[in-house]
Homo-oligomer: A and B are copies of this chain.
């Protein structure tokens, strides 16, 4: 058994069943081992940003890590933007990077790069396997680390893969998440009893139906408010589930959302800050006279903390208002109408990937009446997470995926469409084609100038228009254009009924 074989056996023993792969020469022994040893579904991605983005949303839908298979430092580099998103969303990924043989690295061959150096800023765990007999143990540690919700980067020099002497690693226990301090629960209870304006800010794993019911009971009992973070890895939403709004992206609206709050209680959430700084505007979003309390820190068990807090304050049974399911909208194409049609048509228990950027930003509040669904955002703000994420979510969930996708950001990872076609994934992609970087035109207006020709050359996506139907068909995905809400409704409903991927280019 060589190192690569010990790696595959270890991954299987540790519960890894999926590898999102973009292999190269230095990974051929790993590929051969995956071929010889059944048990892992290998999904080819045409570039590495698809592999890492897919692994991110596989975790968020499956709750278990997938592995990647990347090629040397530059292959890792291509994956970093979506690994950044995964890190911000606290996804677990076993990030496997093949590399030069240990004895070849000092020769500085062309592809040699600082693989560890590039990995470290996104990884909670990094190791380069140095001998074949260490690979299995290293892989078991990597999986254990990934299962806590971090990126575990295992660098696999080619000789550690091909050398005999591999030893299968023993699956390691995953420690439970630490519980919140009792004093934090006391403090939050005291704040809520004080009657001063308070807000629960929820993030991390608290945005589930069950936990939102607890949080809703708390706020209904105490008169506090609740919000979710600006970007969230995973929200259980839809009809019958407790609706929750998010801190808005736009800086003035974000500040406004916390106005008058005297106590901000964080539950697996970070102190809320502006996505960017703006001249003369606040960076920290909470009022100056507001005290920030932490009920449960990022790594702690916020669900248990909320449960304890609810008991402490004697919260009752929450009343969950049921938002009616709307009919598909037939008016002009606009954010509200598109969101309304999504709410009307979305199948039960589906997964929505939201990289709608500017046009899609307000979809959330029009979709509380949709059938129950998961809503996944791009929590790190690195563009291009949507389409790769749809690949991973479709494989991870086995459910229908709706990818709400801005046109500009679609182009950072458009080759994800090919993997959707190859694996015949049930993904409906709705491209919001406004043919510009609308978010940047809005920001440019804030700078206080009308864009001239040079600026427009950098903000406008026309000249030529991108034809997403042709792009999709070029990668084997059936597609059609919608220029009206009627057409969008018809195409979306039909796509939800068929097997496999379908792309709708919506002219907004």
Contact = CB atoms under 8 A, between A and B. Distances in A.
Contacts of A49: 78
A381 to B, nearest CB: 4
A268 interface: no
Interface string A28-59: 11011011101010111011010000000000
Interface in A295-325: none
Given A35-B452, A104-B274, A458-B44, A80 B74 contact: yes
A109 B440 contact: no
A34 B275 contact: no
B78 A84 contact: no
Interface stretch (A342-350, A460-468, A485-493): A460-468
Most B C-beta atoms less than 10 A away, residue of A29, A454, A457: A454
B47 A111 contact: no
A476 B411 CA distance: 14
A84 B15 CA distance: 35
B444 A28 contact: yes
Interface stretch (A368-376, A386-394, A415-423): A415-423
A78 B412 contact: yes
A206 interface: no
Interface stretch (A177-185, A276-284, A359-367): A276-284
A110 B80 contact: no
Nearest to A418: B466
Nearest to A50: B411
Contacts of A36: 449, 452
A26 interface: yes
Interface residues on chain A, size class: 35 or more
A221 to B, nearest CB: 32
B84 A113 contact: yes
Contact of A454 (B35, B122, B451, B468): B35
B418 A457 contact: no
Contacts of A75: 81, 382-383
A21 interface: yes
Contact of A42 (B381, B418, B440, B457): B457
Interface in A67-92: 69, 73-75, 77-78, 80-81, 84-85, 88
B80 A77 contact: yes
A65 interface: no
Contacts of A110: 88, 230-231, 275, 379-381
A466 B463 CA distance: 24
Nearest to A449: B32
A271 to B, nearest CB: 8
A444 B29 CA distance: 8
A24 B449 contact: no
A443 interface: yes
| Most B C-beta atoms less than 10 A away, residue of A26, A270, A415 | A415
Nearest to A69: B458
A120 interface: yes
A118 B23 CA distance: 22
A187 interface: no
A464 B476 contact: yes
Given A118-B118, A121-B113, A447-B29, A42 B475 contact: no
Given A81-B74, A117-B120, A111 B275 contact: yes
B380 A74 contact: yes
A354 interface: no
A459 B158 CA distance: 18
Interface of A: 21, 23-26, 28-29, 31-32, 34-36, 38, 40, 42-44, 46-47, 49, 69, 73-75, 77-78, 80-81, 84-85, 88, 100-101, 103-104, 107-111, 113-114, 117-118, 120-122, 158-159, 162, 230-231, 270-271, 273-277, 279, 283-284, 379-384, 408, 411-412, 414-415, 418, 421-422, 437, 439-440, 443-444, 446-447, 449, 451-455, 457-459, 463-471, 473-476
Given A46-B408, A80-B118, 18 more contacts: A21-B458, A25-B275, A31-B455, A35-B454, A43-B457, A74-B380, A88-B110, A101-B283, A103-B283, A104-B274, A104-B276, A107-B284, A111-B382, A117-B121, A414-B415, A465-B476, A469-B474, A470-B473
17 contacts: A29-B447, A32-B444, A35-B455, A47-B384, A74-B80, A77-B77, A78-B78, A104-B276, A108-B270, A108-B273, A109-B276, A110-B275, A113-B121, A411-B415, A421-B464, A466-B474, A468-B474
